[in-house]
Structure formats: C-alpha cells, structure tokens
Amino acid sequence: MRHLRSASFSPLAILFALVGCAGSSNPPRDARVDRSGGGGDSGAVGDAGAVDSGASSQDSGAGDMVVIESGVPDGAADISIPFQVGPDAAFDLSPSEPLAAPDAPSDPSPGVEKGNADAATLDMACAAGYQYGGNGNCVAIGSEGADSGSDCDGTGGQDDTATGQGDGAVDAEPADAASPDSLQTPDRPDDLPANGGTDGATGGTGETSGGNPPLAPTDLNVADRAAPLNVEGTPLFGWVPNDPDGNEIQSAYEIQVARVSDGLVTWDSGKVPSSAESFVAYAGSALAAGTSYTWTVRTWDRTDQVSGTLRKLRTPTRWDLVWRPRRVRLKLPLTWPDSACNKVR
C-alpha cells in the first residue's frame, strides 16, 4: 500500500486506506485510517464543515428574503446566513401566541461602537454547574477543560470536553459572555418558560442520580445547511445534542425563533417530547419576507435534565449590514496542522 503515502484524497486512496493489509499477521500500521484528531476530524461529512464566508446576507433588492440565523458555537461556525423564500412561501401558518420578547435589544444600532464588521460573536449559555469552555462546549466548572478556548485544540486530538463536532474549527473567538451588547436570547434555561414541560431539572447541579445535564446542542442547521444563504419553504431545523454522560438520548427539545430586529418571538415550540434532531419544521406565526430571524434550541436527556442553549451575541440589526468582506473565514472540513489555525481575513 505504498500508494497511501502519496497524499491523495481520491476515493481510491481512501478505499485502500481502509482496507489495510489483508491476511497479514503483522499489518503495517501506516495503512490504517488514522483516528488522530478524534471524532469529527477525519472525515468531516458530519462535521459542521461550514465555510463561513461572512457573507451573511446580500441585499439583492428583492423583497422576499427571510433571514434565519443559528446560534452556533465559536468552534463550529460563527455566523449564520440568511435564506431566501419565495413570496408565497408557506409561512402563513396559524399564528401562535407570540411570547414576549425577552430582553429585546433596545439600541437599534449598537454595532456601531464595535464596528459592524466585527459585531458577530457567540456565546454559549451553559447549564448550572457548567461554564463555556470554548469550541462550543460547556464544561463542568472547575474542570481542567474550562479554559480551553484555544483555537486549535481540536486539531491535535479530541480533548476531554469536545463534543466531537466542533474540533478543528478555525478562529474560535473567545466567548464574550459579559458583553453589554449581549442581546436578546435569554440566559436559558432559567428565563425561558418551558411550555408544557416539567423542567424540574433546570437547576440541576450535575450531581443528581440521573448524571449530568446535557450540553448545549451544537451544529445548528437549517435543512442540513450550516449557513444557508437562503431557504425556500418552511425552515427545517436541525442540531446535534451533546451530553457528557454515556448511553444518553434526547428525550425532548424546545425551539425558539425570534425576529432579530426586535427580539419578537415568532415561535416557541414548547417542550416537545421527541428524539427528532433534524428537519423539524417551523410552526410558528407567519414569517415576514425580508426579515432576519434567529433561532436556538435546547434539549432534555434521559432523566429529563435540560441543556443550556447556544447564545448568539450579535449587534447589527440591519441584516443588510451583515455582509462582512474583511472577515471571511474558512472552516476546513479536514485537518491540516499548518493551515487549520490560519485566520483568513
């Protein structure tokens, strides 16, 4: 299998990389498909794989643009991108009772002070007993992984707190939880009413008999797209639940969609007992064309403990200002040790 040594990424090379050396009692280890980098690095199909162009939106002049943003972690992709719907898109669903906008941003243009171009940062709201550890992970307070916000942790191996999803991400900004600009998404789980849910484990310390609460879901996407430029038809939400415990499931989820301009919640799914984590259809009040929305999700585990949510801190309120050509970033789906840390600006 000497051919493997040529750095070919052709299917042929992959094919033979996996086959290894049949029948040999002492197989050459170099023929193995290496797991270095841990889950999420070696093949990248399920990785967020986002190419963050920063081109969050482009004012096409059309009046039929609906923008939906995902609260995605630093490590996965730091921005979400608008998606477009046709003027007759099926958003005229029965209006739900909109919840009061939690802490809607009062300043319509707070991005000015930071410079609009750099305004998008992300934070993660973690469950009680956990704190943001970078790379899209909540880690137990006091654990050694708590400070590992390093950009490139994920390229060398799977660290203790990694979800296996966001590793290898480029340019993970430090969380800015204390930012006064932090906007609308409330510090769940405390602030968000869990409609119809028991929510009894919200204040869980991680020491309950049911193990630890889930970590915030990651890899938020709309119809499998991490950063859609536009979406036609009903938005279909997806995410990946995370949990520090083994043998865990998602027993329920709650999605909240809010209008970016004023924080108006257009849909709160309430606590939905379901294991679904992809292609969950929007079912809130009608979405308006040409309007930006943001969304987030939290999950419950086997023992009904609830996760935090990713929280997106974003200051521009005019979606046509989101396009940021000097902050183009790339997230590489494969890990190259030298290039994975490059910041493309």
Give contact residues for another protein (rule: CB under 8 A).
Answer: 3, 6, 8, 10-12, 14-16, 18-25, 27, 32-33, 35, 39-47, 164-165, 214, 219, 240-243, 245-250, 275-278
Minimum Å distance from CB 13 to another protein?
8
By C-alpha distance, which of 109, 158, 153, 211 is closest to 337? 153
Minimum Å distance from CB 111 to another protein?
34
Q: Is the distance from CB of 16 to CB of 4 less than 8 angstroms?
A: yes
Structure tokens at 96: 């739900």
Structure tokens at 203: 């204040």
Number of residues in the chain: 345
Strands (E), 195-242: 215-222, 236-242
Minimum Å distance from CB 191 to another protein?
25
Q: What share of the chain is helix, strand, coil (3-state, %, to 5)?
A: 10, 20, 70
Strands (E), the chain: 65-70, 83-84, 121-124, 130-132, 138-140, 215-222, 236-242, 252-259, 265-268, 280-281, 291-300, 310-313
Minimum Å distance from CB 250 to another protein?
5
Minimum Å distance from CB 342 to another protein?
24
Q: Is the distance from CB of 259 to CB of 292 less than 8 angstroms?
A: yes
User: Torsions phi, psi of 134, nearest 5?
Assistant: 85, 165
Nearer to another protein, 9 or 63 (CB): 9
Minimum Å distance from CB 309 to another protein?
16
Nearer to another protein, 161 or 266 (CB): 161
Strands 252-259 and 291-300: antiparallel
Nearer to another protein, 14 or 99 (CB): 14
Cα 185 off chain centre by: 14
Nearer to another protein, 221 or 269 (CB): 221
Nearer to another protein, 35 or 345 (CB): 35
Nearer to another protein, 91 or 253 (CB): 253
Minimum Å distance from CB 124 to another protein?
17
Nearer to another protein, 10 or 109 (CB): 10
